[in-house]
Structure 1
């Protein structure tokens, strides 16, 4: 099994230092990749750049920089692409991005920006080719329909368009019901979309916060997950033990069904991920 992980930009000097320490600790899992999310807007953008540079210097693995097109003109997007290429980044995760009002708000493209994610994918590749630099572009996929998509079939149409534009990897939103991922994989295979599908796995750092986040992004919560955490409220040690055992089971089940690579949402912390991977690899017990 191969593991990669995601971090988000640090907002403070203290957070920046903590993120650096987490990156050093996470070298223990031998990650194949670290991805750094992107914040639109001036201050958020600069924090994204700083965290990408931090990952470049301290993660000890290839870096994938996220890029969204929400709220930016094509000229601004080109400038961000150029900045990442200047840093030596050779992997970008191309995303439409959520409206500032939230994931449920209608999406309105910038009047001088990109209308669709596939346009962003094409722009990234064109920009890299213009400079003679290699580039890999990953995109998102949704085991459970995108909140603004009319159907799962439409989701597949969107993914196909992104791959047609040049994307070569797809990473999923988080999910807790493996059957939704496997059904998505079947739909991709049926449509003959030539792209590997990497599951996005959310280790449960806090059960209550995870439930809230799942509700916001449209990820279903199986009854089995709720039962798994029954009786752990107010007991951090028990909750952590159940978190590791649940995610271990989820990953092992997917691995048994042919999945070899997993992308973990770290939430900028390291201990839970390090312990989880050690358990999966048989290096320690829960």
Structure 2
């Protein structure tokens, strides 16, 4: 089995303890030589400043290729592009461009009066700067706001046609889900890379709730397996086995890149990577 290229997603810390956890996560996973790491925005842009600071710090201190998340939520076009310019001046050349989730308490996305109305508009503006490699989100299961799967494919094509270079998918539980989506995208004329997003399940209750919110289908066998594993206190063992098997199936199906959602808890992601034959190749320098 060939070894895939990998990337990792982190979220910005909100406390001193979380800052230490993020740095521990980086130190654990950086030796696996990811092609990039990304730092998320909170819902409604709530971690905008934290994201900017975390991206800048990681870029300067880790030697990793850092991608910054950028959303359309609760900001004017000028403010959003000024944030992008801040990333560029810090040496960051990669952006994950997203519409973003509504702020807490709101049921749906409402554009800022002077803001971008969609991720496509944001991508077009970023592409015009010619400063960034742009990644976007994709949904192998139907997005909760989409009419059907065909609409998800059409919207992804619009984002890639607007200037995005690559898509990162929402997580899913079975390789066939990704393969169906990949085939539908190819049929629609999409020829840019679509990278499967992988969620190593640290906490089944949390993952289950998140899956329901974002429209990810939960197979009955997965639900039953985790319910039993939680009772038997073997949740981590099952999570490692399921995630490793999923990644192996994807690789056997021709996937050569994987993007891991780490939740700033690196051990399970590291163990899955080890099981796939991805071993440390570099050491992260200590930062004074």
TM-score normalised over the length of structure 1: 0.91
Matched, 1:186 2:183: yes
Distance apart, 1:230 and its partner CA: 4.4
Q: Say how many residue pairs are matched.
A: 276
| Aligned partner of 1:257 among 253, 258, 261 | 253
Which sits farther off after the overlay, 51-60 or 85-94? 51-60
Conservation of the 8 A alpha-carbon contact between 2:44 and 2:103: no
RMSD of aligned alpha carbons? 1.8
SS in 2 for 1:229: helix
| Aligned partner of 1:246 among 223, 233, 242 | 242
TM-score normalised over the length of structure 2: 0.90
1:121 match? 123
Q: How does 1:188-227 map to 2 (within 5 A)?
A: 188-227=185-224
CA distance in 2, matches of 1:164, 1:50: 31
Distance apart, 1:173 and its partner CA: 0.6
CA distance in 2, matches of 1:18, 1:230: 28
Q: How does 1:1-286 map to 2 (within 5 A)?
A: 1-39=4-42, 44-101=47-104, 105-127=107-129, 129=130, 133=131, 135-236=132-233, 238-281=234-277
Conservation of the 8 A alpha-carbon contact between 2:45 and 2:71: no
Q: Structure 1: 5+ residue runs without aligned partners? A: none
Distance apart, 1:211 and its partner CA: 1.0
CA distance in 2, matches of 1:63, 1:256: 28
Q: Structure 2: 5+ residue runs without aligned partners? A: 280-288
Give the direction of change, closer, same or farther, for the CA distance of 1:43–1:203 in structure 2 (3 Å limit). Answer: closer
2:283 match? none
CA distance in 1, matches of 2:137, 2:278: 31
Q: Deviations over 1:177-209 (max 9, x none)?
A: 222211110111001112111000100101122
CA distance in 1, matches of 2:224, 2:108: 35
Conservation of the 8 A alpha-carbon contact between 1:34 and 1:55: no
CA distance in 1, matches of 2:259, 2:184: 20
SS in 2 for 1:232: helix
Which sits farther off after the overlay, 9-18 or 223-232? 223-232
Which sits farther off after the overlay, 83-92 or 38-47? 38-47
CA distance in 1, matches of 2:151, 2:236: 38
**Highest RCO, 1 vs 2 (Cα 8 Å, sep ≥ 6):** 2
Conservation of the 8 A alpha-carbon contact between 1:228 and 1:246: no
Distance apart, 1:228 and its partner CA: 2.9
Give the direction of change, closer, same or farther, for the CA distance of 1:49–1:159 in structure 2 (3 Å limit). Answer: same
Distance apart, 1:121 and its partner CA: 0.6
Distance apart, 1:60 and its partner CA: 3.6
Q: Deviations over 1:37-87 (max 9, x none)?
A: 123778622111111123213444211111000111101111111111011
Conservation of the 8 A alpha-carbon contact between 1:20 and 1:58: no
Conservation of the 8 A alpha-carbon contact between 2:44 and 2:101: no
